[in-house]
């Protein structure tokens, strides 16, 4: 079984993934790694670093046909949901809806959802049952309650089996010391660090604590069960926070302010899940605390060893890199200023009309580093200019009245600001383009990974298709249903076969007239909303012209209006004798496999029709009245039965007309009728040797018009009694 665990690198999700892996199932994980850590999973699996609300998740569902989805990804902190309810809603509602929609779209058998006891709110009657009213008091509880409603509605509307578990307070190894459920992890972490435990309020709040492996066991067993709906998942035991403190034997305890949104008492009734799933929690609170403490103790020892070996040098290198990156522009600026000052004050450049090196200095600094360094260069240049004036014997007070002095300063400021701003703007644009490029590279890397994954399983999928009993059944059905030697029966069988094989609601078959200018409908399926036209003029449809010209299967990849999804030519003696078209196929399930399957099917139809046409030609003298185009009674009855069957199964209309002419008029009548009929119509004799005309795709409502047309040519016909 293929199982997708969202949030699979997180606390509960990693234990769920562990359990499925130990039972021999293929595990896939989606996690954005905000709270999860890849180190929590040490077995072979396929992981995707994505948020569950990301649209790229569809590529994962499309590439992997999951049997079950366990949705654990969520924002789990009650205080965080109060301070940032928008983020809570994005993760817990939008992410869930995305997973539900993709599970429905790609036919997931079971969807298991992690809810919370927070949906109940503050309750006075304990233990809380699943039937009790939900009155959440925090945005986190609201989002979980809304999620349950979505799951229920997806099951009602789409038949997706959904099962939600309202967790009590889950604890155990790998838990992050955040959120309401992380009180035990927080206590143990502070104990190991030698810090006092912070108890919110008096510590008389009660909770129902359940060990994480008991949760994973319930989820695994539920994935095989027919259970749907909502269940409490808990131990059914109410424990005060102070009792946890006592069990941990904490040496230091401090009472702090009570948290907003904190429920005073909570314990869930687990009798329903125990009865329906035959499940019961295995770990007592003491066993769970001991196992959790050992895990955190080992992790603390590993962290300290790693910190001693690497943290200080790493931190030093990081600080050094940061300092170097920050100081180097200033150092280069000062060095450039020193060179500028030397050139400016030297005898060579001190004469009247000399080039002002300071302008070059300001421009270069602005081009190299942008506005910050150009402004610094301006300040230094102004100082150097002032120094020059003072060295020339000018009084400082007199400079304040010198317009040339202020004009020169204005030039420095203008050059510095313009160059600095331009470079900063250019750098911002470059940074924006780099960011877009990085995003595109990320998307490319993601799709490239999916591409490689698809290539890895390509051969396996092909073998599954080839070895599938269903595929053998399809090929067998084609060969059996197309065994007739009568073209009309082959046409009718083709509609049923193609409709069954391709799962397409609309299948139409057209014959090509002798001049290749029209296609005449001979058979079609019964999708009323997609009725096929009775004839198509080749010149009016580009796709028909192209198909008749190159003889290849047409695939409507552009979804052009007025064209079917696919159509393929049917050959007889290297000439296109007919065309098979399908439409109404769900495009989300349309793939190269369907195109290949359609090609194989039409090739078999071509083979069957070739045999039928060859048989007709070989037995022509036995089918027609000698010297006429009239079908003998036995040949006409075969065609009539085929038309009757097509009408019963696919509502394909036909009109049967009968005349009263005697034998001596048959030759003359057949010649006159032959020029008035289409390629898909037939004339012949019935069992009483009366003249009969069979008009394809003509309903009883068209009878008067048809009879008048024949009457104008002096041919007297009437609707056969079978049609009345």
How many angstroms separate the CA atoms of 172 and 554, rounded? 59
Considering the domain architecture, whether residues 399 and 528 belong to the same structural domain is answered as: no
CA angle 206, 209, 213 (to 5 degrees): 175
- The reply to whether 421 belongs to the active site is no
Q: Do residues 169 and 235 touch, judged by C-beta distance below 8 A?
A: no
Considering the domain architecture, whether residues 643 and 606 belong to the same structural domain is answered as: no
Question: What does the pLDDT read at residue 629?
Answer: 76
Look at residue 568 and give its three-state secondary structure.
strand
Helix (H), strand (E), coil (C) string for 474-485: HHHHHHHHCCCC
Q: Is the pLDDT of residue 153 over 70?
A: yes
Question: What does the pLDDT read at residue 271?
Answer: 94
> b/e string for 649-675 if b means 16 or more Cβ within 10 A?
ebebbbbbbbbebeeeebeebbeebee
Among 444, 479, 495, residue at a domain's last position: 444
| Region class of 573: left (phi > 0), else alpha (psi between -120 and 50), else beta | left
Q: Is the pLDDT of residue 180 over 50?
A: no
- What's the average model confidence in pLDDT over 666-691? 76
Q: Which residue has the higher pLDDT, 369 or 286?
A: 286
Partners of 572 in the beta sheet? 575
Among 304, 335, 354, residue at a domain's last position: 304
Weakest mean pLDDT among 178-182, 410-414, 538-542, 567-571: 178-182
- At residue 74, φ and ψ (nearest 5 deg) are -170, 160
Q: Is the pLDDT of residue 721 over 90?
A: no
Question: What does the pLDDT read at residue 555?
Answer: 87
Q: Is the pLDDT of residue 316 over 70?
A: no
Q: How many CB atoms lie within 10 A of CB 417?
A: 16
Catalytic residue among 28, 48, 120, 140, which?
140
Considering the domain architecture, whether residues 275 and 322 belong to the same structural domain is answered as: no
Question: What does the pLDDT read at residue 32?
Answer: 93
> Could you tell me if residue 454 is inside a domain?
no
> Could you tell me if residue 697 is inside a domain?
yes
* Helical H segments across 196-248, by residue range: 212-224, 241-248
Considering the domain architecture, whether residues 52 and 138 belong to the same structural domain is answered as: yes
Most confident range, picked from 47-56, 180-189, 668-677? 47-56
Q: Which of 355, 381, 357, 376 is nearest to 366 (CA)?
A: 376
Q: Is the pLDDT of residue 475 over 70?
A: no
Residues 6+ apart with CB under 8 A from 684: 630, 631, 632, 633, 635, 636, 639, 691, 692, 694
Whichever domain contains 556, its CATH number is 3.30.450.40
Q: Is the pLDDT of residue 452 over 80?
A: no
Kindly tell me the sign of the dihedral angle through the C-alpha atoms of 383, 387, 390, 392.
negative
Whichever domain contains 687, its CATH number is 3.30.70.270
Weakest mean pLDDT among 327-336, 547-556, 588-597, 696-705: 588-597
Q: Do residues 502 and 594 touch, judged by C-beta distance below 8 A?
A: yes
Cα–chain center distance at 140: 26
Partners of 511 in the beta sheet? 520, 578
Question: What does the pLDDT read at residue 472?
Answer: 46
Question: What does the pLDDT read at residue 485?
Answer: 73
Considering the domain architecture, whether residues 179 and 300 belong to the same structural domain is answered as: yes
Query: Can you give the pTM of this predicted structure?
Result: 0.49
String of DSSP letters for 5-16? EETTTSHHHHHH
- What's the average model confidence in pLDDT over 482-495? 77
Whichever domain contains 238, its CATH number is 3.40.50.720
**For the segment 620-652, what is each residue's pLDDT rounded down to a tens digit?**
777 888 777 788 888 888 888 888 887 887 777
Q: Which residue has the higher pLDDT, 661 or 190?
A: 190
Considering the domain architecture, whether residues 572 and 631 belong to the same structural domain is answered as: no
The pLDDT confidence band at residue 303, using thresholds 50, 70 and 90, is confident
How many angstroms separate the CA atoms of 380 and 333, rounded? 10
The pLDDT confidence band at residue 532, using thresholds 50, 70 and 90, is confident
Q: Is the pLDDT of residue 142 over 90?
A: yes
Question: What does the pLDDT read at residue 470?
Answer: 45
Q: How many CB atoms lie within 10 A of CB 256?
A: 10
Question: What does the pLDDT read at residue 456?
Answer: 58
The parent domain of residue 647 ranges over 625-723
Q: Is the pLDDT of residue 530 over 60?
A: no
Write the CA distances from 297 to 171, 188, 205, 309, integer angstroms: 15, 9, 27, 19
Residue with token string 């600094």: 365
Q: Is the pLDDT of residue 21 over 90?
A: yes
> Could you tell me if residue 459 is inside a domain?
no
Question: What does the pLDDT read at residue 352?
Answer: 43
- What's the average model confidence in pLDDT over 125-147? 92
Q: Is the pLDDT of residue 724 over 90?
A: no
Write the CA distances from 520 to 42, 536, 577, integer angstroms: 64, 7, 11
Question: What does the pLDDT read at residue 660?
Answer: 66
> Could you tell me if residue 605 is inside a domain?
yes
How many independent structural domains does the chain possess? 4
The pLDDT confidence band at residue 401, using thresholds 50, 70 and 90, is confident
Burial of 511 per CB tally in 10 Å (0-12, 13-18, 19+): buried
Structure tokens at 330: 């200033």
Considering the domain architecture, whether residues 581 and 685 belong to the same structural domain is answered as: no
Q: How many CB atoms lie within 10 A of CB 427?
A: 13
Considering the domain architecture, whether residues 278 and 321 belong to the same structural domain is answered as: no
Partners of 28 in the beta sheet? 4, 46
How many angstroms separate the CA atoms of 305 and 636, rounded? 94
Q: Is the pLDDT of residue 350 over 80?
A: no
Question: What does the pLDDT read at residue 181?
Answer: 47
> b/e string for 24-46 if b means 16 or more Cβ within 10 A?
ebbbbbbbbeebbeeebbeeebb
Question: What does the pLDDT read at residue 467?
Answer: 45
Q: Do residues 66 and 108 touch, judged by C-beta distance below 8 A?
A: yes
Look at residue 404 and give its three-state secondary structure.
helix
Considering the domain architecture, whether residues 660 and 589 belong to the same structural domain is answered as: no
Q: Which residue has the higher pLDDT, 200 or 470?
A: 200
How many angstroms separate the CA atoms of 693 and 661, rounded? 12
Mean of pLDDT over the chain: 83
**For the segment 581-628, what is each residue's pLDDT rounded down to a tens digit?**
988 877 655 667 677 778 888 888 888 878 877 777 777 777 888 777
Share of residues in the chain with pLDDT > 90 (%): 30
> Could you tell me if residue 558 is inside a domain?
yes
Considering the domain architecture, whether residues 149 and 298 belong to the same structural domain is answered as: yes
The pLDDT confidence band at residue 161, using thresholds 50, 70 and 90, is very high
Q: Is the pLDDT of residue 69 over 90?
A: yes
Considering the domain architecture, whether residues 330 and 436 belong to the same structural domain is answered as: yes
Q: Which residue has the higher pLDDT, 135 or 348?
A: 135
> Could you tell me if residue 263 is inside a domain?
yes
> Could you tell me if residue 463 is inside a domain?
no
The pLDDT confidence band at residue 723, using thresholds 50, 70 and 90, is low
Question: What does the pLDDT read at residue 574?
Answer: 80
Considering the domain architecture, whether residues 135 and 249 belong to the same structural domain is answered as: yes
């Amino acid at each position: 079984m293929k199982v997708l665990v969202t949030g699979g690198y997180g606390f509960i999700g990693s234990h769920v993934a562990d359990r499925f892996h130990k039972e021999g199932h293929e595990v896939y994980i989606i996690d954005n790694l905000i709270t999860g850590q890849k180190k929590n999973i040490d077995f072979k699996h396929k992981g995707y670093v994505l948020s569950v609300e990301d649209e790229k998740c569809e590529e994962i569902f499309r590439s992997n046909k999951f049997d079950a989805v366990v949705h654990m990804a969520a924002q789990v902190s009650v205080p965080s949901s109060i301070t940032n309810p928008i983020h809570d809603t994005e993760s817990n509602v939008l992410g869930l809806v995305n997973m539900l929609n993709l599970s429905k779209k790609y036919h997931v058998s079971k969807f298991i959802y992690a809810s919370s006891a927070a949906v109940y709110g503050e309750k006075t009657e304990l233990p809380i049952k699943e039937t009790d009213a939900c009155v959440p008091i925090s945005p986190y509880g609201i989002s979980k309650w809304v999620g349950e409603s979505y799951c229920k509605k997806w099951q009602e509307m789409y038949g997706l089996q959904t099962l939600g578990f309202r967790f009590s307070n889950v604890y155990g190894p790998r838990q992050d010391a955040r959120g309401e459920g992380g009180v035990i992890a927080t206590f143990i972490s502070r104990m190991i660090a030698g810090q006092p435990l912070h108890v919110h309020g008096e510590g008389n709040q009660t909770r129902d604590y359940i060990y994480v492996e008991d949760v994973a066991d319930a989820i695994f067993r539920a994935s095989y069960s027919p259970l749907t709906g909502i269940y409490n998942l808990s131990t059914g035991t109410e424990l005060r926070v102070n009792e946890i403190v006592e069990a941990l034997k904490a040496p230091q305890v401090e009472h702090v302010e009570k948290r907003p949104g904190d429920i005073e008492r909570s314990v869930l009734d687990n009798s329903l899940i125990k009865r329906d799933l035959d499940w019961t929690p295995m770990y007592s609170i003491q066993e769970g605390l001991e196992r959790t403490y050992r895990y955190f103790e080992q992790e603390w020892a590993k962290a300290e060893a790693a910190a001693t070996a690497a943290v200080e040098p790493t931190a030093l290198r990081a600080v050094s890199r940061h300092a170097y990156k920050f100081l180097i522009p200033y150092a280069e600026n000062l060095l450039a200023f020193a060179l500028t000052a030397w050139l400016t004050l030297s005898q060579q450049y001190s004469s009247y009309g000399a080039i002002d090196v300071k302008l070059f200095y300001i421009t270069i600094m602005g081009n190299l580093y942008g506005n910050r360094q150009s402004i610094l260069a301006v300040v230094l240049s102004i100082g150097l200019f002032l120094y020059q004036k003072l060295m020339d014997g000018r009084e400082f007070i007199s400079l304040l009245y010198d317009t040339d002095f202020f004009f020169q300063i204005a030039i420095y400021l203008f050059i510095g600001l313009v160059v600095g701003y331009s470079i900063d703007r250019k750098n911002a644009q470059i940074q924006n383009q780099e960011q877009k490029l990085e995003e595109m590279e990320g998307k490319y890397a993601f799709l490239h990974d999916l591409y490689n994954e698809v290539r890895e399983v390509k051969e396996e999928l092909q073998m599954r298709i080839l070895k599938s009993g269903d595929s053998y059944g399809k090929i067998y059905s084609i060969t059996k249903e197309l065994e007739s030697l009568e073209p009309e029966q082959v046409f009718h069988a083709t509609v049923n076969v193609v409709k069954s094989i391709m799962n397409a609601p609309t299948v139409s078959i057209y014959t090509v007239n002798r001049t290749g200018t029209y296609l005449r409908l001979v058979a079609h399926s019964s999708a009323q909303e997609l009725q096929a036209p009775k004839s198509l003029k080749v010149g009016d449809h580009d796709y028909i012209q192209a198909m008749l010209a190159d003889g290849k299967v047409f695939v409507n990849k552009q979804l052009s209006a007025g064209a079917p999804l696919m159509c393929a030519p049917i050959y007889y003696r290297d000439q296109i004798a007919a065309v098979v078209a399908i439409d109404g196929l769900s495009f989300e399930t349309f793939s190269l496999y369907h195109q290949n399957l359609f090609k194989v099917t039409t090739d078999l139809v071509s083979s069957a029709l070739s045999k039928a046409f060859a048989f007709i030609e070989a037995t022509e003298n036995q089918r027609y009245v000698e010297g006429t185009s009239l079908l003998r009674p036995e040949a006409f009855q075969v065609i009539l039965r085929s038309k009757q069957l097509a009408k019963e199964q696919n509502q394909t209309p036909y009109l049967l007309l009968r005349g009263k002419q005697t034998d001596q008029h048959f030759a003359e009548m057949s010649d006159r009728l032959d020029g008035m009929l289409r390629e898909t119509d037939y004339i012949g004799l019935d069992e009483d040797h009366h003249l009969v005309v069979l008009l394809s795709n003509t309903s009883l409502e068209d009878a008067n018009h048809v009879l008048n047309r024949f009457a104008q040519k002096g041919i007297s016909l009437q609707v056969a009694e079978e049609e009345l």
